[in-house]
């Protein structure tokens, strides 16, 4: 069972001071383990694994620096606060160099002790969270998609099932949700993994160059064509072609792409003969491809050729369990790239990461963490490097519990009243509540039964 109350081990050869120290700490709700014998304190340390050690510096037999060294050997992340009645600048410097969390000179006040204790426990919590995240990252080393969430686990399982197929895959999902990463994962797990993976953003290619860039051209095909150009589609031969934002592909090029899928061949601009290609096509868009097909903005025949295996990539808010794992991955990457000793996220920074709505999904998370790493020289990433919210339009994956309860309650009432046409008696019976209770809830959420009555009922009124 996880410890709900922090445990603090205190070591001091003065029993009276040790008792006072325990009373101060217990008054703040901490569980205190005390020992006036450093050797016995080490036994307690091994058995109980406290969250913080507070030890006197000068003690017979085993001094505080030896305790600090033993703690670091057992648990390098366990914070140690050193106490001494012989405070001096050299002692403080030596303690800090030995990586003690803090240093207090006797006599000190309860307020000073509590402030340093609270800070040490905050660091302990951050260290434990960071260790868990890095352990999870190590366990997933080499995997294309980092995840903890059931939503992504289900998608990863699906990818493993369809990877060996030659059929076209169509990825849908919000912008920034990681569709290219998913496409790459399919390629890496497929028999074509040794072939090229060519990613094309169809919306980023200038219209006048799109045909040449995709299908290639021969020398002399147009002014400036000084040599043959294979094109992106032929560059993917033997591998996988990922067409991102496929909905932005002009209609005239949709016809040529359809021929590639149907015949396995293409004709470069200016060429007189067809060239064969062998590739698997994975396409993606954040737009409503069904609506575009219905309106004629996207060819129906091409849609059916591309939409053989449809997969939806969940938004980051749908896979909130992955937020901290991905954030730690991005932070470790940036820390290594910048050659900085960044320990991890502070607890307050972790909370902010979980409270954001992330309308820009994984791409937005990556950008936020990259910025946080850039402004953090060393130590823990502070909460003020994480903006409170992203752009407008999103909702936190984990809103405050009271807000979540209120939202559920209102939605439940609306659905119930809509299903009963605003009949309070029926609604109350279904909800298992008295009519007066239901009226109170409706007033709380400013809902009137008249809004949910059928047209015939309103006419009778």
Domain interval for residue 43: 7-129
pLDDT tens, residue by residue, 256-298? 999 999 999 888 888 888 899 999 999 999 999 999 999 999 9
pLDDT score at 247: 93
Q: Do 174 and 276 have their domain in common?
A: yes
Considering the domain boundaries, does residue 461 fall inside one? no
Q: Do 263 and 284 have their domain in common?
A: yes
pLDDT score at 98: 65
Confidence label for 15 from pLDDT (cuts 50, 70 and 90): very high
Q: Do 285 and 181 have their domain in common?
A: yes
Nearest residue to 277 via CA among 268, 265, 267: 265
Give 31's strand partners.
7
Tell me, what CATH number does 204's domain have? 3.40.50.300
Yes or no: say if 315 and 396 are a contact pair by the CB < 8 Å rule.
no
Q: Do 26 and 88 have their domain in common?
A: yes
Q: Do 237 and 115 have their domain in common?
A: no
**For residue 221, pLDDT beyond 80:** no
Considering the domain boundaries, does residue 445 fall inside one? yes
Considering the domain boundaries, does residue 142 fall inside one? no
**For residue 335, pLDDT beyond 90:** yes
How many domains does the chain contain in total?
A: 4
Tell me, what CATH number does 346's domain have? 1.10.8.60
Considering the domain boundaries, does residue 224 fall inside one? no
Considering the domain boundaries, does residue 135 fall inside one? no
pLDDT tens, residue by residue, 34-48? 999 999 999 999 999
Among the three residues 266, 297, 312, which one is the final residue of a domain in this structure?
312
Considering the domain boundaries, does residue 141 fall inside one? no
Confidence label for 389 from pLDDT (cuts 50, 70 and 90): low
**For residue 455, pLDDT beyond 80:** no
Angle between helices 401-419 and 435-444 (to 10 degrees): 120
Q: Do 190 and 85 have their domain in common?
A: no
Tell me, what CATH number does 18's domain have? 3.40.50.2300
**For residue 89, pLDDT beyond 60:** no
Among the three residues 286, 312, 338, which one is the final residue of a domain in this structure?
312
pLDDT tens, residue by residue, 114-131? 999 999 998 898 898 899
What is the residue-averaged pLDDT of the chain?
Answer: 87
């Amino acid at each position: 069972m996880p410890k709900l109350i922090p445990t603090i081990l205190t070591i001091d050869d003065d029993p009276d001071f040790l008792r006072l120290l325990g009373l101060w700490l217990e008054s703040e709700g901490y569980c205190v383990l005390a020992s006036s014998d450093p050797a016995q304190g080490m036994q307690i340390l091994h058995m109980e694994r406290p969250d913080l050690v507070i030890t006197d510096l000068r003690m017979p037999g085993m001094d505080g620096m030896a305790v600090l060294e033993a703690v670091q050997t057992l648990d390098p992340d366990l914070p140690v606060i050193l106490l001494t009645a012989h405070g001096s600048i050299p002692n403080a410097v030596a303690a800090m160099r030995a990586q003690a969390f803090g240093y207090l000179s006797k006599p000190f006040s309860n307020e000073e002790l509590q402030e340093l204790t609270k800070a040490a426990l905050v660091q302990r919590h951050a260290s434990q969270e960071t260790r868990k995240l890095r352990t999870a990252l190590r366990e997933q080393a080499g995997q294309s998609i980092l995840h903890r969430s059931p939503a992504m686990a289900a998608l990863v399982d699906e990818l493993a099932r369809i990877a060996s197929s030659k059929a076209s895959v169509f990825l849908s999902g919000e912008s920034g949700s990681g569709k290219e990463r998913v496409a790459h994962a399919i390629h890496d797990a497929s028999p074509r993994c040794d072939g090229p993976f060519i990613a094309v953003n169809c919306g980023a290619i200038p219209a006048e160059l799109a045909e040449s860039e995709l299908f290639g051209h021969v020398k002399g095909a147009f002014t400036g064509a000084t040599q043959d150009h294979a094109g992106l589609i032929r560059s993917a031969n033997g591998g996988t072609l990922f067409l991102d934002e496929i909905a932005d592909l002009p209609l005239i090029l949709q016809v040529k792409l359809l021929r590639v899928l149907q015949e396995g061949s293409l004709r470069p601009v200016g060429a007189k003969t067809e060239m064969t290609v062998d590739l698997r096509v994975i396409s993606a868009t954040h737009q409503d491809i069904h609506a575009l097909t219905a309106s004629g903005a996207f060819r129906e025949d091409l849609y059916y050729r591309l939409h053989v295996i449809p997969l939806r990539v969940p938004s980051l808010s749908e896979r909130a369990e992955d937020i901290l794992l991905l954030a730690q991955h991005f932070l470790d990457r940036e820390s290594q790239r910048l050659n900085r000793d960044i320990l991890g996220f502070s607890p307050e920074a972790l909370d902010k990461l979980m409270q954001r709505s992330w309308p820009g999904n994984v791409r937005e998370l990556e950008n936020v963490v990259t910025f946080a790493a850039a402004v953090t020289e060393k130590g823990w990433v502070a909460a003020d490097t994480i903006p409170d919210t992203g752009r407008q339009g999103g909702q936190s994956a984990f809103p405050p519990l009271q807000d979540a309860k209120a939202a559920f309650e209102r939605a439940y009432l609306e659905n119930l009243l809509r299903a009963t046409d605003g009949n309070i008696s029926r609604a109350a019976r279904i909800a298992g509540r008295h009519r007066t209770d239901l009226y109170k809830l409706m007033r709380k959420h400013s809902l009137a039964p008249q809004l949910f009555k059928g047209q015939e009922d309103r006419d009778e009124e």
